[in-house]
Amino acid sequence: MDFKGQVALVTGGARGIGKTIAENLAKKGVGLAIADVSVESAGETARELASLGVKTLALRLDVSKSDQVVKAFEDIVREFGRLDIVVNNAGITKDGLVLRMKEEDWDAVININLKGVFLCSKEAVKVMVKQKYGRIINIASVVAFMGNPGQSVTWRVQRWSHRRRWLVIFAGRMSLRRAIRGASIQN
């Protein structure tokens, strides 16, 4: 597939899986916005990717904060003039047995791993519908479909599975509604 000239946002793209996805897109000629709570690491990654010959932009973004999400999408469209691909990758892990799990850990996971996808997808769809083109990719987990041996007896896997399965359902529903308007969503 020819992606040359397209523009992608990778949330949590400063390191790990997000960085690898961003690298692979950059190698295909895709311009990249790397958005991360750690703007210093995002800057380093953006500089590395720019050496592959694509335009890059580093953004400070907490995906769970709607004002930051709206501003990040505005900055990207102003800088690149378009946005074709959004990879909802930012996520945290706070696994633990229910008896030991703190309420703030539960809230943090739900706000970043679930609400963050909703907030970014909402802004992405606004841009993509206008463009009549776009792709949203949600990074979920195979654990959404099956428990891991050794973890399945614990409540934490139930929690992990539920939040990730929600992403799959969310993506499926959005896909149906958006497919006819040129945007599609994949897990």
Ligand X SMILES: NC(=O)c1ccc[n+]([C@@H]2O[C@H](COP(=O)([O-])OP(=O)(O)OC[C@H]3O[C@@H](n4cnc5c(N)ncnc54)[C@H](O)[C@@H]3O)[C@@H](O)[C@H]2O)c1
Give the residues lining the site for ligand X (CB under 6 A). 11-12, 14-18, 36-38, 61-64, 89-92, 112, 139, 141
Q: Which residue, 63 or 125, is less far from ligand X as judged by CB?
A: 63
Residue 180 CB, shortest distance to ligand X, in Å, is 29
> Cα-atom radius of gyration of the chain, to the nearest Å?
17
Check: CB of residue 70 under 8 Å from CB of residue 59: no
Residue 127 CB, shortest distance to ligand X, in Å, is 19
Residue 36 CB, shortest distance to ligand X, in Å, is 5
Going by C-alpha positions, the residue among 52, 44, 70, 57 that lies closest to residue 8 is: 57
Q: Which residue, 70 or 92, is less far from ligand X as judged by CB?
A: 92
Q: Which residue, 169 or 179, is less far from ligand X as judged by CB?
A: 169
H/E element holding 166? helix 155-178
Q: Where are the alpha helices (DSSP H) in 16-115?
A: 16-27, 39-50, 66-80, 103-109
Q: Which residue, 41 or 175, is less far from ligand X as judged by CB?
A: 41
Residue 58 CB, shortest distance to ligand X, in Å, is 12
